[in-house]
Structure formats: structure tokens, C-alpha cells
Chain A
Amino acid sequence: MAKDFIDTSRRNDRLAEILIRIGGILVIVSVIWILVMISRVALPLFYPATARIAATLQVPATIISAKVMAIGAEENQQAVFILDESGTFHFLKAADGSVSASIKAPVIPKGAVRIASAEYVGKSAYNLLWDTGAITSVTVDLASTKDADGTISLAHDVTAQDDLAFPAIGSVVQSFVRPVEGKGAVRVDQLNGDHLRVTHQLVEKDLLGNEKRSTSSAEINDPLPGRLTAVAVDTKGHYLYAGTDKGWLLRWDISEPGQIRLLESLPASEESQAITSLALVLGDVSLAVGDAKGSLTTWFPIKVSGSGEDRRLTRIHTLRPNHGKVTAIIPSPRDKTLFSLDATEIHVDHMTSERNLMTIRPAAPPTNLALSPKGNTLAALDGIRTLTVWKLDIPHPEISFGTLFGKVWYEGYDRPEYAWQSSAANDDFEPKLSLVPLVFGTIKATIFAMLFAVPLALLGALYTSQFMSPRLKGRIKPIVEIMAAIPSVVIGFLAGLWLAPLIDKSVLTVFLSIIIVPLMLLITIFFWKRIKTASLLQRATRGHEFIAMIPVVIMGIYLAFLLSGLAEAQLFSGDVKQWFYSTLGVRYDQRNSIIIAIALGFAVIPIIFTIAEDAISNVPRNLTAASLALGASRWQTAWRVVLPSALPGVFSAVMIGFGRAIGETMIVLMATGNTPIMSWSLFNGLRSLSANIAVEIPEAPLNSSLYRTLFLSAVLLFIFTFVINTVAEALRQRFRKKYGRY
């Protein structure tokens, strides 16, 4: 039996050891796993864009003979189409280059033989300018579906859009047609000899449903600085842009039929390089300009000082230059990405982040370039009739280190700014994801809270450990420790709904308390000195002084409250907040940084207090005893002997409190207005990193830029607090070791 028992015991022991080791290591690994996991979600923000060649096909000989006016591709890289000059759309399978269908444009104007130019206007629509000067508009539908057995079937169709058709007017170089919302359409023509003409074709419906068509046309006679080299019109048909060979940019307002107004004309660069390409970036605000030297810039109108309400085109972003003349700029239909083509390469850049996403170098110089309607596929046709199709993967083009942490010049802003605005009502809105205002808010909240908490907590800890009677100490310490357990949501609630309205009623009380409470203290000290002469009283009060201080503090605050009412009425004409606003220009928010300082400070006081008190109490008693025996007073002992020895521990207490304040979420969420502004004013709210996560993450779509940015801010919080805590902990352990031998 004994042997069996020993064997069982040994076996159990070994088994337990293995299990415990596995369990222990598992827990520790899982802890490290946290950081790895959140980083893994945040990391794709910085992944580079990639373009993979999905297909290369030789255009069949039957199509080669005609001139190619436009090409197009479909989202899944399964099919492409080619529009030739006869107005025929040839649909090709990407896999083998075979023609699956050839469809003639559904409407061919009378007398027209071939297409002079074709303009892609987005959403799969093309405007075809015929040699007679007539214009028709078509929509090309091309989609592929993959069946269960792997075969790919194509669906294609070409439909006409009648309301955008214009009659023949003779030969023109280039034309633009834009629908005017609810009213008809506008056509802009570049005529031979550098003339521009704007024709509005308006349709009005009366109550009976009868249509009344009217056409008004105006020619632009403004003298042009140089020859026209590039023209662009925005999608609503409001503005006409032109560039010249001398490098000038011109902008006209064409929104009123028959009235064309030159808004401005200005040189695009000092070197007066010919402007070779113009395009409007998604959203119709920014204009992308490419010139003969290869530089690529974007412009939008901003308010210029001294010009009143007038807005002037200004160069905002300078993207990475191309190697030679920019022959085409294609804006992405999904975001503010630009594809620019020079003689040999296709550059992909994001406008706002000024990030060069990638450079695609086709085998031969491309002549035609096209993006699929959703921007997933890029197709290029080169001079030797090879069509290449790329699958694009541009995960988060608008995010770069610069946009997260630097000033960014967003569309519609008058200067580069740090901004956090993750969503808005309209579709072409660009999220502004700068972490700087949030980091600023976090730091502001933390600093104000620490200014409030550290003196109170450290002095309180010094008193508790050095001067308080041991019996009381055994009661007070647990009270403070229980304070540490008060849920932050409780503190936040009281701060937001009880303290904030209270302070709102009488802001001055806070400031006066800072003066009056110490003053009251001073007065008490003088009284104290008098009554201390009675030795019986002295013995009774020793170790209990703070109890006498409680009424002093309460009276001080009450006095401050009374005085503030008086001062407000006398000095600030009854309303101090109004006075702040009119005299100092400071706006007062009800939930402001004072509230945060008090509430967040209150939340970290117990942590700092407990750790600091432990550190001070851990200083060996024999040091204190020696000091006292040499005749030092209890204050001298505490201040000159105990505190210096305990300094590393005290410092680590402050740091741990700091770490806690940085990550605190609910208090900041509830006690501030959560406005991401950057101002050091005591009377403004703020938004911290942690509160921002709590506010935004429930709304953030999975794997969107916002979602990943929020994970990134969580990583930042994690690393920051982890580093602070580790340093503090290392200090504390060292301190323990130093005095451990006593």
C-alpha cells in the first residue's frame, strides 16, 4: 500500500507540475497576446498599396484597325471593353482575349460617321462627341458572375441617356456635357482656335407636363494667357477650368445660363510650365493640375486675407512629381486618390495625405487608361495593342503617419490643421483622423488632474504615515483604499450632473478656495501656536491634527462661496462667465477642465496615496528613531530623513497615478463635452484618446480606417501606460530591495 501511495503521489506531483507550468505559461503568453492582437488590427493602416497584374491580353486583329477612343474594365478583372472610333463597344474576356460581344452605340446622330472624342464622366457613363459636333451619352454595363462550377459569365449592355444628347454644331476639338440638376444639361465645347463655348439646354415642365426646351449659348471672349492645353468641368456643371501652355490656370463660373464670369486667372507655377492635364478630384472641390515637367499639384479656392468673401484658387498639395509630361490624370471614384500617367509610368497618390501609394510601370508606354466604376481595377492599353488589367489593393490611402500626427490641409479648410472628425452626413465627406487633438486632450486632462491630486495625495500620505496616531492610521488607510474602489462611472456621474452645475453657478468659488483655504489654514496655525502652550491639549491633539483641520477646510470653502457671490456682484457686474467672454474672450463650457481636474484627480488620489504611504512607511523605523534621538523635530525627521529615502517609492506612486489618469475613460467621457479642440483654457472641455474610443468604436464599421485608427490609439494607450508602469514598478522594486534587509 505504501509503495502504491508513494507512486500515486509522485505521479500526481509530476502531472500537476506539468499542468501548472502549462497553465502559468499560457496565462502569461495570453497577456502578451493582447498587445500583439490589437497591433495586428491597427497595422494594416500602414500597409503599402499593391497592384497585381490580373490579365494581359492582345487585342484581336479585327479591332486593331480602328482608333481606340476609350477602354473600360469591370470590378472582378474578368472582362474589359474597347470603344473604337466607329462607336462600337467591343467586350473582351480577360482570360483569353476573345471578343464576347460587339455592341454599336444605340443612338448615332444623323450624318455622323466617327467619334471625335469620348469623355468618361463616372458611374460607367461616356459622352461621345461625333465628327458632326453632335453629342450622345451612353452608359455601359459590364459585370461578371462566377457560377458554382467556376465558369465565368459576362453580362453587358450599352444604353443611351437621351437627356444628355446635343445636336450637331460643326466640328469641335473637345466637349464636356454635364447634367444640370432637374433642369437639363450644359455643354462646354473647345472650338478650333482656342475658343470656348458654353451651351445650356434647359427643359422646363409646366403643370400639365408639357416640356419647354430652351437653348442659350455663350462664347468666352476673355483674352487667354497662352494657348489652351487642358480643360475641365466639374460634375455639376458649375465651374469651368482651363490651363494654358504658358502655365496659367483659369476658372469661370458657368452656372448661370448665358452668363459666364471669369473668376480668376493665375500662374500655376513660377517656371511657367505648360499645363498638360487637369482633373477634378472626387467631391468637385479640388482641381488636380499636371504640367509638362511632370509636377502634380492640387488646388482649391480658399479665403484670402484682404479679399473679403472672395475665394481664390490656391496650391494646396504638391504630390510626388512624375518623370515627364503628365498626359492624363484619373481621379479615383471612391476617394481622393489620383492616378497620373506620364510617358512610362502610372503614379498613384493620395491627395490629402500626400502619400505616394505606388508606381506602376507597364511594359510599354500606355496610351489609354481606365478605372473600373468602383476603383478596384485598373486597365491600360499600350501602343502595341496589349491590354493589361491590374487588380488594385489600396487598403487605407488616406492614412499616413503624417495625417495621424501632423497638420493636414483638408478640403474647405483655410490652413493646415489638426482635426478629428470621423463622420458627417454627406457621402463625399473625407474623414479627418488626426490623433493630435486627442493626445492633447488626454495630456491636458492628465496634467490638470495631477496638479490637483499629487500635492493632496502626497501630503496626505506623509501625514498619515509619519504624524498620525497608529490607532487612527489603521482606520484611515482602509478608508482611502476603499475610495480607490469607487467605480469611475460613479465619480463621472457626480462630476457631470452634480459638480458641473454647482460650479457653473459659482465659478469664482473654485478660484477663491485656492486662496482662502490656505489663508484659513494660516490663521489656524497662529491660533494653534497659542493654544498649544497648554501641554495637556498638546498631548491630546498630537496625531489627530487633521480632525481639527476638517472644519477649517469646510469653513474655508463656504467662505469662498460667500465671497464669490459678493465679488461677482461687485467686480464682474453680476455674471463672471459673461465677463470672461467679453473681456478675455474665453468661452465657458459647463463641463470643462476644472471639473475634469477635480473628478479625475479625486479618482487617482487614493492610488497615489496608498502607494506613497506604503513607500514612506517602509522606510526603516531605526532611521526615524535615530533622527528623533538626535533632537530633530518630527517634521524635520519626516522632511529631511524619511522623505528623501522614500523618494523613489513616492515617485513611482506619482507615475502609477499618472498612468491611471491617462487611461481613465468614464470620468472623462461624462465630465467633459467631448469636443476635440486644442486649447489650454481651463473653461473648455476636451476629448481624450480613451473617451474617443468609447464614443466612436460602436459606430465604426469593421476594418474601416476609423476602426483601425481607434485600435491604433488603443495600442498607443497600452504602450504608454505599460512603459510608465514598468518604470514605476522597477523603481519600486529597487526601493524595496534597498530597505528589504532592515
Chain B
Amino acid sequence: MNKFWKTGEPYVLATGAALAIILVMSLTLVGVVMTNGLGYFWPRALVKLELKDGTSALGQVTQKEKNPISGIRRLQLKVGNRDVFGQDFRWIDEQDIASRSLPADAVLVERREHGNYFGFLKGVTAEGITLTGAAPQEQLQQALKQVADKRDDTRAIKKQMSNLNNTAEGLRLKLQKLEYRGKEKNSAEISELTAAREKVLAEFTLLNEKLTATQAEIGRITAQFTDAAGGSKDISLMDIIVLQHTNSMSFLDKCGAYLERVRELLLDDPRESNTEGGLFPAIFGTVMMVLLMSVFSLPFGVVAAIYLREYARDGLMTRMVRIAVNNLAGVPSIVYGVFGLGFFVYGIGGSIDSLFFPERLPTPTFGTGGILWSSLTLALLTVPVVIVATEESLASIPKGIREGSLALGATKFQTLTKILLPMATPGIMTGLILSMARAAGEVAPLMIVGVVKLAPTLPFDMNFPFFHMDRKFMHLGFHIYDVGFQSPNVEAAKPMVFVTTMLLLAIVVLASSTAIYLRNKMRSKYTTSTF
């Protein structure tokens, strides 16, 4: 006994327990995100509950727990039909339930507005289209198909309209510029442009009328549903995104539905103030911002590291600079955000506006947050990471290799480009990937310098000059903060946030594991065992 304590074996166990706690915490984090995120898209059964008071409820069971006040077991039912019932969720005490069933004809309707609808299909009112099927279900499928075709038409019109809108906006800006430079001087040009703009606008109005007409036409095709409480509801087929008979779906059907939802998540636009639909703009914004940032941070970081390691004389100054650069990685990210706001947005952005776009003032062009300033701010934030990684990998190259190259008559620059940089590439890549992972997950500075809840346009499109550096953008990390903490209906938005979190976590973890793998591989290549 005594010896056991004296040798300190119990303490070893205690340290082991500390590590165990750390690992348990990490696993919990990943586990919570995965279970909540992965399960969200799986079509869940629609349960019909007959309650003892004679009413019934239809919905998906989301939670079961003990009521903290009365201690009665209860379950949380997602009843949907927000526009009818007022709220998405309902708590039902288990003792009030008389019977449960899984009606095969229960439908889940995912709508463009007001969230999901749970109920039963009654019939289809088709105006202007012919339906051959007899059963309402067949009719609905046919009608949906036809509506989808018509919707494609409206999409084409919308696209045309957006192009016209862009042209009109471009003309308006040109006009503004001319007027700013002097009305009288450019009167001929101005009237010409005004005429052109009016023509475009007239065309736009025409298309708009056409669109409204088409939409009204489709809008007349509706389907009738009844909910569990017996109330009926007309839903325009245009508003229906997905219609599932969840309870009668086979496993394969469910897999198909799941994949369809994943596709929607990755490629579609968000709906219902970001709480539903896809994440495409946020993913696109994040990726583009990170790439843009790499364009700035990689060359500067590498050059600075080469300077520090290969060119600067190794004195007190270099050592201090190295410490300073190292520590910049530890300066809070919000400080970089504040700097970005003061220097990039108001400083440089403001100057650009007053020099090149004075006619648009006081509406700022570059003098407000945007993707360019965000990437520059993050580049500053991550440059130390690139510098440190590059320096480390340069330092790990044995001196003999440099001396060998120089002895053979190569210049310093040749040694650098032909010998050292190729050898250091894995290290530089590590630094780059680490910096990209950090940038992808960083939110605080972006909130100040250009990220928004909902960006109407992507920072890249088919309109000249393709890259719109002044545009604001959406970001996965900010999406999490915004939807999870600023949306009016947090409970309903939670699953979406978990999905976003999972996506962000997956991206970041994947990137950093690659970086760490690369680094460890490189390390084992150069370091030799000492003992």
C-alpha cells in the first residue's frame, strides 16, 4: 500500500483522468454536433396522437423528458403549421395520450413560407391545366410537375429581369458620374443615357407584368389539406418545395429524400430569414473570402519569412522582430477587426470613395464593409501563421544543403528558388492550410468589416467586372451566430444551426488535420533522433 502511494502511481492515474476529461469533452462536442446535425435531414415519422380530451395532434416527436415542475413525463411534438397554430412546437404530457398511430396518408409539406405543414391531402384545384389522374394524390403529382415547368419559365424571366436591372443600375451610375462632372457640359450624353435607361426600365416593367401574370396563373393552382385538428388549408402549389408521405416511405426513399436535402443545403439559397433552405451563399462567401485572403497572406508571409531566415542578419533586432511576429498570432482577432474598420474601411475605403466615386457619396462604395476589406483583415490576422510555418520549415533544412549549393557556385537566389523553397513547400503548405482553417472559422473581426446576415448578391457573378470586391458577403460562422442568437424563433432555427456548425466543423477539422499530417510527415523527414 505504502509503496504504491510513494511511487506515485495514483498521481499518474490522476493525470490520466485529466486527459480523459479533455477527450470526453472533445468527443461530446463532436458527438452533439453530429447527432443533431446529421439527424435533422432524416425524414421522421409523422405521429398522430389521439388525446384523452378528444382532440388529436399530428407531428414529429422531437424530445422526451420529465417536466421539471410537475415531474410528469412529457414529449415535445413539432406540430408545424406555424400560420395556423401560431407556434411550431407543443408539449404533451404522456398521461394525456389515448393512442398513437402512424397514418400512411399523412403528408409533410415543405413550404416556401411559414415552415412545414403537416396534414392530409384532400384534393387539388387545377385551373388552366388538365389532370388525368383520379385520386387526389396522382392529380397532385401531375399538377406539381406542370407547375415545376411553369416555374422554370418564371425563373428565366427573373433572370432576364435581373440582367436588365444590372444594366439600368450601370446606366444610373454613369449618369450620376456625368451629372457630378457638370450637367451642362455633358448634356447630350446625359440625355442619350437617360433615354437608354428609360428604354431598359420600360422593358423591365413589361417583363415584370408578364412575371406577375404568370405567377398569378400558377398561384391559382392549389391543393387542399386538412390538419389534425380538422381545419382545412389551401396551399398554392407554387409554395410547395417538397411533399413527402413520410410514413409510407421505404428506407431507400428516405435515403433519396435525405440526399435531396443535402443537395439543397449545399446548392440552394436560404429561406425564411436563413432558418431554412440552403447555405450556398454562405459557403460561397466563406470559400471566396478564404481564397482571396490566401492571395494576400501567402506571398507576403513567405517573403517575410525568407527575409527573416535567409537575409536578415541574426541579431537582437531579428530576434525581437521574430518574437513580435510570433505574438501577433496571439493578438485577439477582434483587435484586427477594429483595425480593419479604422484603416481599411474608413481609411483606405473612404479615400477610394472620395477619389474615384465622389458622385455616389454619401452612399459609400468601398467606404463600407466588404469582401475585400474582410480578406485583407484576415490576411493580416493569418500572416503570422504563414511566417512562422515557413520559417520553421526553412530552419529545419540542414545547413549542409545550403552550403553545398553555394559551394557549387549557385547564387543565394538560385539556392533559394531551386533548393530551399521546394524543400520547404510542405511546411509552407501547412502554414497556408492552417491559416485558411483559422480564417474560415473566424467570425469576430468579420462582423465588423463586412459580413452580413443576408447578401442579395454573390461577390462573384457574370456581370462585369465579375469580382465585386465592394460587396458584402455571407459567412458560415456568422450564419451560426446570427441564426442561433439573433433570429426571432431560435427553437425552430436550432437544427439548421447544428447543420451549419457541422459543415463548418467538418471543413475546419479536415483542413487542419491535413496540415498537421503534412507537418508531421515533414518533421520526421528532417529531424533525427537524439537519444
Query: Which residues of chain A have a CB within 8 Å of any CB of chain B?
Result: 9-10, 12-13, 16-17, 19-21, 23-28, 30-32, 34, 37-38, 41, 455-460, 462-464, 467-468, 476, 478-494, 496-498, 505, 517, 521, 524-525, 528-529, 532, 545-550, 552-554, 602, 605, 609, 620-622, 625, 633-636, 639, 656, 659-660, 662-666, 669-670, 690, 693-694, 697-698, 702, 710-711, 714, 717-718, 721-722, 724-726, 729-730, 733, 742
| Contact A670-B13, Cβ < 8 Å, known A486-B505, A694-B448 | no
Partner of A694, one of B6, B319, B416, B444: B444
Partner of A553, one of B15, B24, B437, B497: B24
**B443 to chain A: which residues have CB within 8 Å?**
487-489, 666
Chain A interface SS verdict (over half): helix
Q: Which residue of A lies closest to B327 (CB)?
A: A725
How far in angstroms is the closest Cβ of chain B from A52? 26
**A32 to chain B: which residues have CB within 8 Å?**
324
How far in angstroms is the closest Cβ of chain A from B298? 12
| Contact A714-B338, Cβ < 8 Å, known A21-B311, A639-B11, A698-B447 | yes
Partner of B325, one of A31, A552, A660, A664: A31
**A639 to chain B: which residues have CB within 8 Å?**
8, 11
How far in angstroms is the closest Cβ of chain A from B428? 15
B324–A31 touching, CB < 8 Å: yes
| Contact A545-B13, Cβ < 8 Å, known A38-B339, A487-B441, A490-B480 | yes
Most A CB within 10 A of own CB, among B312, B321, B342, B477: B342
Q: Is B341 an interface residue (CB 8 A)?
A: yes
| Contact A463-B9, Cβ < 8 Å, known A493-B480, A494-B29 | no
Interface pick from B210-218, B407-415, B457-465: B407-415
In order of increasing CB-CB distance, the 3 nearest A-B pairs are: A663-B332, A24-B307, A487-B441
A660–B512 touching, CB < 8 Å: no
Q: Which residue of B lies closest to A40 (CB)?
A: B342
Give A476 to B338 CA distance when docked, in angstroms. 37
How far in angstroms is the closest Cβ of chain B from A490? 5
B504–A729 touching, CB < 8 Å: no
Q: Which size bracket describes the interface of B in this complex?
A: 35 or more
B330–A656 touching, CB < 8 Å: yes
| Contact A634-B332, Cβ < 8 Å, known A37-B342, A478-B513, A529-B1 | no
Partner of B12, one of A460, A463, A483, A698: A463
A698–B412 touching, CB < 8 Å: no
B331–A549 touching, CB < 8 Å: no
A718–B516 touching, CB < 8 Å: no
Q: Which residue of B lies closest to A460 (CB)?
A: B19
Q: Is B223 an interface residue (CB 8 A)?
A: no
19 extra A-B contacts, CB within 8 A, seeds A26-B300, A27-B304, A693-B448: A28-B304, A31-B383, A481-B516, A482-B509, A487-B441, A487-B505, A525-B9, A545-B13, A546-B16, A546-B20, A602-B25, A620-B530, A635-B7, A635-B9, A639-B11, A670-B485, A714-B339, A717-B335, A726-B324
Partner of B22, one of A456, A662, A722, A724: A456
B334–A31 touching, CB < 8 Å: no
Contacting A at CB under 8 A, from B291-326, are 300-301, 303-304, 306-308, 310-312, 319, 321, 323-326
Task: List 6 A-B residue pairs with CB atoms under 8 Å apart, sorted by A's residue number.
Answer: A27-B307, A479-B23, A482-B509, A493-B501, A521-B13, A553-B24
How far in angstroms is the closest Cβ of chain A from B18? 4
Give A602 to B27 CA distance when docked, in angstroms. 12
A27–B303 touching, CB < 8 Å: yes
Most B CB within 10 A of own CB, among A16, A463, A468, A489: A489
Q: Which residue of A lies closest to B325 (CB)?
A: A31
A549–B20 touching, CB < 8 Å: yes
**B331 to chain A: which residues have CB within 8 Å?**
663, 717-718, 721-722, 725
B14–A459 touching, CB < 8 Å: yes
Partner of A721, one of B33, B332, B337, B437: B332
Give A217 to B143 CA distance when docked, in angstroms. 83
How far in angstroms is the closest Cβ of chain B from A639? 7
Q: Is B93 an interface residue (CB 8 A)?
A: no
Give A590 to B412 CA distance when docked, in angstroms. 62
